[in-house]
Amino acid sequence: MKRYSFLLHGAADSSPGGLSQLKAKIGAAFKLSDAAVNSLFKNLPVTLKKGLEEHQVENYKRVFAQMGALVEIVEEGGPAAPQGEMKLAIEDPIQTAPIPTEPKEAEAPAMRAEPKSPPPPPPPPISTPESIATDVVPDTEPEAEIEAEPADISVLGFSLSPRALAVISGVLVLLIIAVVALFSGDDSAEKATIDDDTVKKIVTEQTKESNSARVKGAAQPDSVEPPVALTARTNDGISASDITILIQDKKISEIEFTLQSIPPEKLTPDQVVAGVVRKPWIERAELTASAEAITSELPANSPTTNRITFSANASGRAYLRDDQGTGRAISHLRISGSYDPTQAVVTGKWMIADSPENFSASPFAERVAGDKFHFLLQGEFTATRAP
């Protein structure tokens, strides 16, 4: 059975307000403190859950998409080997051979010798009092040297041995560390816990609310206008984009944006030899701006215009390629424009970049390090109702 990891990359709305709203929603839904939520967003992306099955992944996607979060689902590798079943290879016992003994030396043949007469014995020594005194062995052994113990140390009028002083010093250090940890007030150690039961509960509540809204809509079919879908397809020779805008009750409720760059022409052999490098291009980028990330400004009280201006921000994945290989990056989308509620036409501009800081730059694309890219693309569009 396949298992998946659920990663949080941040807020779909990259503005400071969108991030604050996402933090508040996650904290309220999972009953987390501000410190726990902040620790969750400290090092993004962060893995919220591992080992999820497909039905669990769908629940997590539904919950966090409703909150406006930018997430990623990654299929995990093969299942880890269960504990207790790993077998160790045991080597064969070492065959010990008897230790060879050195061969005995061959006995030399006895040599015959002519018998000789023994030498005459030496005369016996003459004992004197001095010699007797020098032949006596003392009965007492030399005394062993005794190592002197270090002197005691006086501390606040108390005499302590060095060993006791070392023990007391160690205990004091441990007490100081415990007191500092107790009163430091470091809330960063508090970790956020995203549990399956809470996710299931949220999904159940969302389902009830959705069913309730459907019942109300069925009871009053004329109270809500059906959404109108406007589409735009652009191709400026550099990139091709598909934009779908949903308008309901004269408000833009959702914007879907898909982009694909047109690859540069392949290099000729002479260009390759000369070291010419093609600029990177976006193979695919998909971003969605929900209603929470779209702001609209009603027209002024003027009889000459009925147009409503709007702006939207979204974040998503972008996959790039160049002659060195592929890479991916978090991409940020900014769309702005205007529309007339009485006419099914929306006009505007779009910009997509690896960072909002690049929105003020001119269009470019470059590889910076490893599989990381910097880029900015922009264009204009006119969305109309599909025929």
List strands edge to edge, sheet with 4-11.
46-52, 4-11, 69-75
Any idea which residue has 């062995």 for tokens?
137
What whole-number distance in Å separates Cα of residue 162 and Cα of residue 153? 7
Mean pLDDT score of the chain, rounded to an integer? Answer: 74
The yes-or-no verdict on residue 368 having pLDDT over 80 is yes
pTM: 0.47
The yes-or-no verdict on residue 255 having pLDDT over 90 is yes
Query: Domain spans of the chain?
Result: 1-78+154-221, 225-385
221 φ, ψ (degrees, to nearest 5)? -65, -25
First to last CA, the chain: 44
Q: According to the model, what pLDDT value does residue 324 have? A: 85
Q: According to the model, what pLDDT value does residue 103 have? A: 46
Q: According to the model, what pLDDT value does residue 44 have? A: 83
Q: What is the CATH number of domain 1-78+154-221?
A: 3.30.1390.10
Mind listing the pLDDT tens digit for each residue in 335-358?
999 988 778 899 999 999 998 888
Instruction: Give the CA angle between residues 281, 282, 288 to the nearest 5°.
Output: 160
Q: How far is CA 45 from the centre of its chain?
A: 6
Mind listing the pLDDT tens digit for each residue in 275-287?
888 889 999 998 8
Mean pLDDT for 264-289 is 89
- Alpha helices (H) in the chain, listed in sequence order: 16-30, 34-40, 54-67, 129-134, 162-183, 196-219, 269-274
In DSSP terms, which residues pair with 318 in a beta bridge? 285, 329
What whole-number distance in Å separates Cα of residue 280 and Cα of residue 278? 6
In DSSP terms, which residues pair with 384 in a beta bridge? 231, 345
Mind listing the pLDDT tens digit for each residue in 78-100?
444 333 333 323 333 334 344 44
Q: Which of 383, 299, 297, 304 is nearest to 343 (CA)?
A: 383
**Confidence tier at 128 by pLDDT (50, 70, 90):** very low
What whole-number distance in Å separates Cα of residue 301 and Cα of residue 342? 16
Mean pLDDT for 252-256 is 91
The helix (H) or strand (E) run that includes residue 177 is helix 162-183
Among the ranges given (3-7, 15-19, 45-49), the one the predictor scored with the smallest mean pLDDT: 15-19
Any idea which residue has 């470059």 for tokens?
366
**Confidence tier at 57 by pLDDT (50, 70, 90):** confident
The yes-or-no verdict on residue 40 having pLDDT over 90 is no
